[in-house]
Amino acid sequence: MQSRISWPWIWAAALVTGVLMFAGFYRPFGFLVRAATLPVVRFLSGAAAQTITTDERVRELESRLAVLAADQVRLRSLEEENRTLRAQARFLDQSGYDSVGARVIARDVRGTRAILTIDRGKDDSLEIGQAVITDEGIMIGKVSVLQDRIATVELLTDPRSRVAAAVQVKGQLAGVLEGRGNGAAVLTFIPSSETVVPDQLIVTAGTEEKVPGNLPLGVVNTVDARPSDPFFSATVEPLVSLDRVVFVSVLRPTALRPRL
């Protein structure tokens, strides 16, 4: 025989339970539940706070590391600048030349163009045609355009560049060093009576008004000579990487001859 569900009793029990809950009869049990779960809540809150603190610490350390890396780069730059300036001072002191130190602030050495912009100009007694050298006394070009506080330097490899040149061992005019673009330069109009071979040092001839003699220009790479031609040519490789020059010196008119 199946038992019958007594719905009146179920409804009565539900009603009593509701009244007791409304009256706060089960509040102590709620307190017990909260007391039992409080350690878990505190643990989870502490773990979250610790995670946030750890993330902030990581970000702080990363920021400090970036600052230290930047400081190291600046320190290396200052050391290189100091080394370059000392080398320039030694060369100019030994040679007796008067000069103006300058910093390269822009460059265009890609393709056929080969020019630098320096932070010196007319206000510093610069003139068009003056020789521009590195810290080791190597000539890299001439002043070609002047403004009050800046100037353009036409490098030896620029197609418009022309410098009277000589073989160092002879010291007399051997030809004209012409820029050909793309980092190339050629010594042209070499008399067939001259002897030029690879690895010889090419220097300035000293026949130009604003370019002192015996400034290193480059080294002979290949020679193109034909017995029937009155002149021949030779490719010349620059002595410095022109796209990495940062500090230069411009030789002023009083520098055409060393002081006695």
Long-range contacts of 3-12 (CB under 8 A, 24+ apart): none
pLDDT: which is higher, 229 or 5:
229
CB atoms within 10 A of CB 173: 18
Q: Which pLDDT score is estimated for 28?
A: 54
18 has a pLDDT exceeding 80: no
Q: In this predicted structure, what is the pLDDT of residue 255?
A: 45
| Nearest alpha-carbon partner for 128 in 22, 14, 211, 70 | 211
pTM of the prediction? 0.63
Residue 50 pLDDT: 60
**φ/ψ of residue 232, rounded to 5:** -140, 175
**Phi (first) and psi of residue 49, to 5 degrees:** -65, -40
pLDDT recorded at residue 33: 47
Task: Report the run of H or E that residue 104 belongs to, with start and end.
Answer: strand 99-108
How far is residue 165's CA from residue 202's CA, in Å, rounded to a whole number? 7
Q: Bigger pLDDT: 54 or 8?
A: 54
pLDDT band at residue 225 under the 50/70/90 scheme = confident
CA 167, CA 224: separation in Å to the nearest integer? 16
Share of the chain above pLDDT 90, in %: 36
Is the torsion defined by CA of 34, 40, 41, 42 positive or negative?
Answer: positive
Q: Supply the pLDDT for residue 73.
A: 61
Mean pLDDT of 224-248: 89
pLDDT higher than threshold 60 for residue 102: yes
Residue 96 has pLDDT above 70, yes or no: no
pLDDT digits (tens, 9 = 90+) for 129-164: 999 999 888 999 999 999 999 999 999 999 999 999
- How many residues in total does the chain contain? 260
The radius of gyration of the chain from alpha carbons, rounded to an integer in Å, stands at: 41
**Where is 212: in which H helix or E strand?**
none
Does the pLDDT value for residue 124 go beyond 80?
Answer: yes
State residue 259's pLDDT score.
Answer: 44
pLDDT at 66 over 80: no
Class of domain 101-253: mainly beta
Q: For residue 24, is pLDDT > 50?
A: yes
**pLDDT number for residue 185:** 95
Where do the domains of the chain lie? Answer: 27-94, 101-253
